[in-house]
């Protein structure tokens, strides 16, 4: 399925709230991704996602609608040669190859934009689909931390996948 990555803008608010307000997405994300996903949370997110230069948090656009998001988050201090990858996609678009294509674009963006040599992602142990897409994009499993995430009243494993420059 065709998609583009582009900066978020306030006109995306309705679409953002529509696709992000889904418990099946929120359960796979940090608590910083709220459920319910309100307009107020959406406004705050768009403001945050558009403040940095260069922009590094993008909307995943399908047919002019923001149906998900993906971002690269450079680290600091002793981790400064690393960046974390994060992403989500509206459930109606799962399984269509969009996330794998978006990840590949973000890897290129990360290594050409920042002075880094490693991009990592931290899916939950229960998020098998995310693990598979990372592996498909060339990421290697570096670590599994058992029962370190506490989400929705249960302990989950944290996995660390990474790709090197």
Query: pLDDT tens digits for the chain (165 residues)?
Result: 899 999 999 999 999 999 999 999 999 999 999 999 999 999 999 999 999 999 999 999 999 999 999 999 999 999 999 999 999 999 999 999 999 999 999 999 999 999 999 999 999 999 999 999 999 999 999 999 999 999 999 999 999 999 999
Residue 135 lies in a domain: no
Residue 150 lies in a domain: no
Amino acid 75: pLDDT = 98
Residue 124 lies in a domain: no
Residue 130 lies in a domain: no
Backbone CA torsion sign across 118, 111, 9, 22: negative
Rounded to an integer, what distance in angstroms lies between the CA atom of residue 148 and that of residue 78?
23
Element housing 136 (H / E): helix 128-136
Amino acid 162: pLDDT = 98
Amino acid 49: pLDDT = 97
Count of structural domains within the chain: 1
Residue 127 lies in a domain: no
Residue 15 lies in a domain: yes
Could you tell me which of 144, 102, 90, 150 has the C-alpha nearest to residue 122? 144
Global confidence as pTM = 0.96
CATH number of the CATH domain containing 76: 3.40.630.30
Residue 162 lies in a domain: no
Residue 44 lies in a domain: yes
Residue 52 structural domain: 4-116
């Amino acid at each position: 399925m065709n998609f583009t990555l582009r900066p978020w803008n306030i006109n995306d608010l309705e679409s953002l709230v529509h696709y992000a307000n889904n418990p099946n997405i929120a359960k796979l994300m940090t608590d910083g991704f709220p459920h319910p996903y309100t307009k107020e949370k959406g406004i705050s997110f768009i403001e945050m996602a558009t403040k940095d230069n260069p922009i590094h948090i993008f909307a995943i656009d399908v047919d002019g609608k923001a149906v998900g998001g993906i971002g690269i988050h450079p680290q600091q201090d002793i981790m400064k040669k690393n960046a974390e990858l994060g992403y989500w996609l509206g459930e109606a678009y799962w399984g269509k190859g969009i996330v794998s294509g978006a990840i590949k674009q973000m890897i290129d963006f990360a290594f050409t934009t920042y002075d880094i040599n490693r991009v990592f992602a931290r899916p939950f142990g229960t998020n098998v689909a995310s693990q598979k897409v990372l592996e498909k994009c060339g990421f290697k499993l570096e670590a599994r931390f058992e029962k370190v995430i506490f989400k929705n009243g249960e302990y989950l494993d944290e996995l660390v996948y990474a790709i090197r420059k």
